[in-house]
Structure 1
Amino acid sequence: MPKLLYARPPADAEEERQIRKLAGARHAPADWIMRAQMIVFSWQGLRTSAIAAKLGCHMQTVRERIERFNTEGLPRARRPARGRPQTTHHRARTRAAHRAGPLDPARTAGPRRGRGPGRRR
């Protein structure tokens, strides 16, 4: 028989206020709201199967989010899901350009090109 899993009680009144406020929010990322609702429903005594049915997700998802909250607290419970890592190609090119130093003065201080006074086409 699976072990019953419930969210730990709030550490303090501030944590409880934050989670309840987030659970009822309308202008926050949907995954944060859903995770906060999972915790609040768990505090109300609902089992993972009932929470999953109410929120329209899988029971394992509810278990994982509650376990994460129990071990790491609210900031980690709001962590986004891992996805494709960002590329560092642009950062690497920028760092290489900074390491190379300023451009050659002879190249940057040369004569102006283009149309100006006294120039003909």
Structure 2
Amino acid sequence: MNLSSEQIDELRELAGSRHAPADVVLRARLVLWAAEGRRRKDIAELAGVAPNTVDRAKVRYLAGGIAQLASRKPGRGRALSRCRGYRRLTVRQTPIPPTT
């Protein structure tokens, strides 16, 4: 990857930030290491991620710069699941209406 000195400075600032979200900082580091000329496999080992994660971070940066690195898609995350006792617990906690 060929980046200008301004782009590298922006990425370094983001990669060293303590206030940015961890996933954004990680993506900035991945792009920086790629710009240094490190191999994809070595970057993945350093960061503790899969090699395709390195590729995705590079593609995101090339598509939209730092703004694209920081963007998040809505609806991501773990789906809620209910345990076996959830329904039983809900039924027990439901107040019984008074009889008249």
Q: Percent identity?
A: 28
With the length of structure 1 as denominator, give the TM-score of the two structures.
Answer: 0.56
Q: Comparing both chains, which one has the higher relative contact order based on Cα–Cα distances under 8 Å and sequence gaps of 6 or more?
A: 1
For the aligned residues, what is the CA RMSD?
1.8
The match for 2:66 is: 74
Q: What is the TM-score with the length of structure 2 in the denominator?
A: 0.66
Q: Which residue of 1 aligns with 2:49?
A: 57
Q: Deviations over 1:37-74 (max 9, x none)?
A: 01110111111111111001111011011011112222
The answer (yes or no) to whether the contact 1:35–1:65 under 8 Å persists in 2 is yes
Cα distance in 2 for partners of 1:47, 1:67 equals 15
In the other structure, the counterpart of 1:84 is 75
The one-letter code sitting in structure 2 at the alignment partner of 1:16 is I
For these two proteins, the number of residue pairs brought into alignment is: 76
Once the two structures are superposed, what CA deviation does each residue of 1:81-116 show, in whole Å capped at 9, x if it has no partner? x2427xxxxxxxxxxxxxxxxxxxxxxxxxxxxxxx
Alignment partner of 1:39 out of 31, 48, 60: 31
Listed as ranges, the gaps of 5+ residues in structure 2 are 77-100
Considering fraction of residues, name the structure with more helix. 2
1:48 alignment counterpart: 40
Larger of the two Rg values belongs to structure: 1
2:3 to 9, 18, 21: 9
Structure 1 gap segments, 5+ residues each: 1-6, 86-121
- The 4+ residue runs of structure 1 with deviation greater than 3 A are none
